[in-house]
């Protein structure tokens, strides 16, 4: 269907502080696109913009509990996080995996993969839901993903990464208005893709349009059945 992992959009009080962390901890590349700051890591773009009002909350408690990266050395990553005074919500020595809490309560997971050629790569979005099978089926059908599993977690696989599903007791709070405001998929032929979704009865928060001030980036916004805000884009790869 021409869909790949696209981006995570953080709307925060201090974009520069967040950007510095992704550069220092993950070796990310940076770029400015119009009024947006971009941080590029293999498989994903992190979009940073300044909040006009304080976010309601962080990622924990929302439908997107955290997002995760592979790193070449978890020991080096932990040292960098400690140097930046970033606390850990989880530290699993056995699996060489940690979840760090970035400023404004943004949870970021790091897992060691010593075979990486570079220092880091995107791995997954982690969606918290009581309805894993149903929600995975929605992502697979809507975006053309492949059903899979990561350990005990159900997953939908896409070029560039995967969406994993964390079992919780109740539906979580939608992402809109939180510091992790939405996730994104990059789509080849976005206009036609949106027309197909509309024909299937999809409701759009923002219908398809082009944004001249962002180099002609094409966008649209929808939400998954439990309220995860999702931006569809065409053009980040070209930028």
What digits encode the pLDDT tens for the residues 81-124? 999 999 999 999 999 999 999 999 999 999 999 999 999 999 99
At 183, is the pLDDT very low, low, confident or very high (cuts 50, 70, 90)? very high
Domain residue ranges of the chain, discontinuous segments joined by +: 3-234
pLDDT score recorded for residue 53: 85
Instruction: Report the distance separating Cα 62 and Cα 191, nearest Å.
Output: 29
Show Cβ contacts of residue 110 under 8 Å, excluding neighbours closer than 6 positions: 25, 68, 69, 70, 71, 74, 77, 97, 98, 99, 100
pTM equals 0.95
CB 222 within 8 A of CB 204: yes
CATH class of 3-234: alpha beta
Cβ neighbours around 160 below 10 Å, total:
18
| 127-147 pLDDT per residue, tens | 999 999 999 999 999 999 999
Instruction: Report the distance separating Cα 229 and Cα 224, nearest Å.
Output: 7
Strand order in the sheet with 153-158: 88-92, 97-102, 106-112, 64-71, 120-129, 161-167, 153-158, 146-150
pLDDT score recorded for residue 56: 82
pLDDT score recorded for residue 54: 81
Could you tell me where the DSSP H helices lie in the chain?
A: 15-26, 74-83, 132-143, 190-199
Q: Would the pLDDT of 158 be above 90?
A: yes
pLDDT score recorded for residue 180: 97
| 15-58 pLDDT per residue, tens | 999 999 999 999 999 999 888 899 999 999 999 999 988 888 99
At 236, is the pLDDT very low, low, confident or very high (cuts 50, 70, 90)? confident
């Amino acid at each position: 269907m021409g869909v790949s992992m696209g981006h995570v959009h953080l709307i925060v009080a201090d974009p520069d502080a967040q950007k510095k962390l992704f550069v220092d901890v993950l070796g990310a590349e940076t770029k400015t696109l119009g009024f947006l700051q971009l941080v590029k890591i293999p498989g994903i773009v992190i979009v940073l913009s300044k909040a006009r009002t304080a976010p309601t909350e962080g990622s924990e408690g929302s439908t997107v509990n955290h997002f995760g990266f592979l790193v070449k050395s978890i020991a080096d990553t932990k040292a960098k996080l400690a140097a930046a005074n970033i606390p850990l919500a989880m530290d699993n020595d056995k699996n060489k995996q940690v979840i760090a809490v970035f400023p404004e309560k943004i949870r970021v997971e790091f897992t060691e993969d010593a075979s990486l050629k570079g220092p880091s790569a995107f791995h997954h979005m982690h969606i918290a839901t009581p309805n894993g099978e149903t929600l995975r089926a929605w992502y697979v059908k809507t975006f053309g993903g492949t059903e899979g599993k990561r350990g005990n977690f159900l997953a939908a696989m896409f070029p560039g990464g995967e969406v994993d599903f964390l079992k919780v007791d109740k539906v979580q709070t939608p992402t809109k208005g939180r510091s992790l405001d939405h996730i994104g998929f990059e789509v080849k032929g976005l206009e036609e893709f949106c027309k197909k979704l509309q024909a299937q009865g999809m409701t759009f928060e923002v219908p398809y349009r082009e944004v001249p001030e962002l180099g002609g980036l094409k966008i649209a916004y929808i939400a998954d059945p439990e309220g995860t805000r999702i931006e569809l884009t065409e053009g980040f790869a070209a930028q």
